[in-house]
Amino acid sequence: MNAAKQPIIFTVVGGFLGAGKTSLVNRILAAGGPARFAVLVNDFGALNIDESLILSQTGKIMKLANGCICCSLAGGLVDAMLELAKYYDHLDHILIEASGVSNPSRIMDFARIDGELRPGLTIVLVDLVHFEEQLDNKLLAETIEAQIESADLFLLTKSDLVSVAQIDHVTALLTGRQPLVPVVTLDQQQEDFASFLVFDDTALPPFSKPAGHHHDDRLLHSFHSIAMACDLPIDRARFSAIVKDHSARILRGKGVVNFADSLPEDGHSIWQQTGRLIEITNMPSPDNTPDISGTSRIIAISTDDLAPLEDAFRTLGFTPAPNI
């Protein structure tokens, strides 16, 4: 293991059969970008891969010309991950399409236990048409509940096939179980949203061009956003409590925060959040520290009104800072 290498971000796309996991994985692949990623799927055939990009295929592993790898889940997840582990030095990101009966938490455990991996998002897709029926199915009830339990973020699919009332109804069923998890309706307008969430690992704005990816600025027009700054040191416990309490409305939050209890050598902290996935880490190295003179700067976006979050941050001393 290369000590200097950053851990590989590990993302799980879960959800029940027919919820659109494969098409979401395909969208994320299409968005691509510079990240060298591996995608683990049941069926290579369901992926939209240009055959001219395939460099080689041996056993479970298909190598692509852009440095990415597709790995088959044939034989099970343990064997697939053991096979993929041979390529960890050349990967930035692993994306797993969980089977419809798996518990995404048990899959995310791979990233929790292996120091070469870092837990990323658990996205759970929910089929708006069939969700209620699935919840009522005694063969599936525990499976669905476990998937709901594991989500950092819900994406509702097939919104074009249901009424607004049905979307509200399903949203209420989900938030009743998981009040801290954002629920986003995935429609045509927002189809690149998931890949944006998966690949945006920058600590600072702008949202619209994260990490060299090319997202349409219009993507963000359907969202509420706030940008705030504060020159005073921030109370870590209160900050953590606020972002946790408001996690249902934080689709993406990030920033550089000067915590009052940080040691000088720790520098500033980076806050990254998508729904229930909250990460607060120290700056990786002083060289990368922007000169912000003790100022904390944060931004957040949501499909919901962010006024309650803005009010909460004000209690810490943050004020709006539109020029971030």
Q: Copy the structure tokens of residue 259.
A: 């915590």
The site for other proteins (CB under 8 A) is made up of 16-17, 42-43, 45, 59, 72-79, 81-82, 85, 99-101, 105-107, 109-110, 112-115, 139-140, 142-143
Report d(CA 273, CA 300) in Å as an integer: 9
Contact in structure between 69 and 46 (CB atoms under 8 Å): no
Which is nearer to other proteins, 83 or 187 (by Cβ)?
83
- Residue (42 or 208) nearer to other proteins, CB: 42
Query: CA 196, 200, 201: angle at the middle one, nearest 5?
Result: 165
Q: 106 vs 214, which CB is nearer to other proteins?
A: 106
Closest CA to 222 of 311, 275, 298, 301: 301
CA pair distance 39, 266, nearest whole angstrom? 34
Listed residue (145, 80, 90) closest to 110, CA to CA: 80
Phi-psi domain of 108 (left: phi exceeds 0; alpha: psi -120 through 50; beta: other)? alpha
For other proteins, the closer of residues 141 and 211 by Cβ is 141
Which amino acid is located at 103 in the chain?
A: N
Give whichever of 13 and 107 is closer to other proteins, judged by the CB atom.
Answer: 107
Amino acid (1-letter code) at residue 56: S
Could you tell me the smallest distance in angstroms from the CB atom of residue 154 to other proteins?
A: 19
Nearest residue (CB) to other proteins, 112 versus 177 = 112
Least CB distance to other proteins at residue 150 (A): 11
CB of 203 to other proteins, least distance (A): 25
Q: How far is the CB of 100 from other proteins (least distance, A)?
A: 4
Q: How far is the CB of 299 from other proteins (least distance, A)?
A: 31
Q: Would you give the DSSP letter of residue 249?
A: G
Least distance in angstroms from the C-beta of 10 to other proteins:
11
